[in-house]
């Protein structure tokens, strides 16, 4: 595994696991510190790494320290800005008698020592029922639907905010075992809890569904070859938080769907590299230390947060491609009135909107394929 990545993980361990790393962390030149800082940003963990250095008494060069602090301040401000906006959106939906549930970012951030350091890029809101009405309510609040092709959500944007409105937490991706897994999950999204995050009560998935959603999300990233350390940290904190105690039922499901090898790789990496206690993962078949390091080297050989590194489309089977195409076309037809408002005025305009949508899908697919070739072809 690359040296800079190992050093970054040490800093994350110091903050997230309260580990003593002073004796392990080497002296770095300014150039090496700059490389480490860039890597931390690309993996969405700059705040965690800075706190790890501070906690361990590791001195960051002054010229970089100022920039790093400004980055942290910006991320924290962005976190609170998104949270305020998210609460406004929740209020709008609730005023329209729609029951929303917060997914991913905010619900994951509460497991961290300092939630505001968990980098947020968008808002993920689940609306299992009355999806069209929810979309209209969000639109009336100034959001516009984007044309991005997705099966399980519709993206909306307003100013600097990005919102994903979800029908379901998971999406089929054309991978047989993964799609079998998400079909087997007994999703009970109507069972939500109210979680206090920095003084605000927000509706989130119940514990069982939160575990499902967290594990499936990271597995999808792993299959798509877009893994970032932020995703790994979410699973780490899931295990060390109260939610980590009830994962066994889900792991049994992973075994049934032949997805346990990938998950064992993630957990082994957390044990050997992050110091996750063995008692926290009792019952999971772990890789050897060498195998875990090789797993990490392969997963993090590039900064997978960049979409251009996605190799998934190069390995997608023909049957998987047709399955994914069918799901996408169904989603396009279903979301026609949301993404192409002009066709609401007359049914005669809907065939034109459908052609428009298919064209957008073709362009999006070409971009994905071209992105794969740039990133790894």
Task: Report which of 303, 302, 222, 306 is spatially closest to residue 269, judged by C-alpha positions.
Answer: 222
Average pLDDT across the chain, whole number: 84
Asked if residue 142 lies in contact with residue 287, where contact means CB atoms within 8 angstroms, the answer is no
pLDDT at residue 370 above 70? no
Q: What is the per-residue pLDDT across 29-55, written as a single tens digit (0 to 9) for each? A: 999 999 999 999 999 999 999 999 999
- pLDDT greater at residue 302 or residue 218: 218
Reduced to 3 states, what is the DSSP secondary structure of residue 248? Answer: helix
Concatenated DSSP letters of 264-279: HHHHHHHHHHH---GG
CA pseudo-torsion sign 287, 229, 68, 56: negative
pLDDT score recorded for residue 275: 93
pLDDT at residue 101 above 50? yes
pLDDT at residue 155 above 70? yes
Task: Tell me the pTM.
Answer: 0.86
pLDDT at residue 9 above 50? yes
Residue carrying the six token digits 């002296």: 27
Instruction: Please state, in angstroms and as integers, the Cα–Cα distance from residue 320 to each residue in 172, 177, 315, 327, 366, following that order.
Output: 10, 11, 10, 11, 17
Sorted by sequence, the CB contacts under 8 Å of residue 211 that are 6+ apart come out as 238, 243, 246, 247, 250
pLDDT at residue 1 above 90? no
When pLDDT is cut at 50, 70 and 90, the band that residue 12 belongs to is very high
pLDDT score recorded for residue 373: 43
Give the CA count within 13 Å in the CB-facing half-sphere of 239: 25
Q: What is the per-residue pLDDT across 103-128, written as a single tens digit (0 to 9) for each? A: 887 888 888 989 999 998 889 999 98
């Amino acid at each position: 595994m690359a040296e800079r990545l190992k050093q970054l993980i040490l800093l994350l361990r110091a903050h997230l696991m309260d580990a003593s790393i002073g004796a392990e962390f080497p002296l770095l030149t300014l150039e090496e510190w700059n490389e480490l800082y860039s890597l931390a940003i690309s993996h969405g963990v700059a705040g965690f790494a800075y706190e790890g250095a501070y906690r361990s008494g590791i001195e960051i060069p002054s010229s970089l320290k100022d920039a790093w602090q400004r980055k942290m301040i910006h991320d924290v401000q962005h976190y609170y800005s998104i949270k305020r906006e998210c609460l406004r959106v929740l209020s709008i939906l609730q005023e329209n008698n729609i029951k929303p549930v917060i997914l991913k970012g905010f619900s994951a951030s509460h497991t961290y020592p300092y939630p505001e350091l968990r980098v947020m890029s968008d808002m993920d809101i689940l609306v299992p029922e009355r999806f069209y009405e929810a979309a209209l309510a969000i639109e009336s609040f100034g959001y516009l639907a984007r044309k991005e092709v997705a099966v399980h959500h519709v993206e909306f944007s307003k100013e600097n905010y990005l919102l994903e409105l979800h029908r379901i937490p998971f999406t089929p991706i054309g991978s047989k075992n993964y799609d079998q897994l998400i079909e087997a999950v007994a999703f009970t999204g109507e069972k939500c809890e109210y979680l206090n995050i920095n003084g605000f009560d927000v509706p989130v998935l119940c514990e069982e569904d939160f575990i499902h959603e967290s594990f499936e999300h990271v597995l999808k990233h792993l299959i798509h070859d877009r893994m970032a350390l932020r995703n790994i940290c979410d699973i780490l904190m899931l295990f060390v938080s109260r939610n980590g105690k009830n994962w066994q039922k889900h792991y049994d499901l992973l075994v049934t769907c032949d997805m346990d090898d990938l998950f064992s790789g993630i957990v082994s990496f957390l044990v050997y590299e992050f110091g996750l206690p063995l008692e926290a993962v009792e019952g999971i078949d772990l890789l050897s230390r060498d195998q875990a390091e090789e797993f990490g080297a392969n997963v993090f050989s590039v900064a997978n947060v960049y979409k251009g590194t996605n190799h998934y489309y190069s390995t997608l089977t023909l049957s998987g491609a047709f399955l994914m195409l069918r799901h996408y076309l169904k989603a396009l037809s279903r979301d026609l009135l949301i993404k192409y408002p002009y066709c609401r005025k007359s049914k005669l305009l809907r065939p034109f909107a459908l052609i428009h949508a298919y064209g957008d899908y073709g362009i999006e697919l070409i971009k994905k394929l071209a992105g794969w070739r740039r990133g790894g072809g």
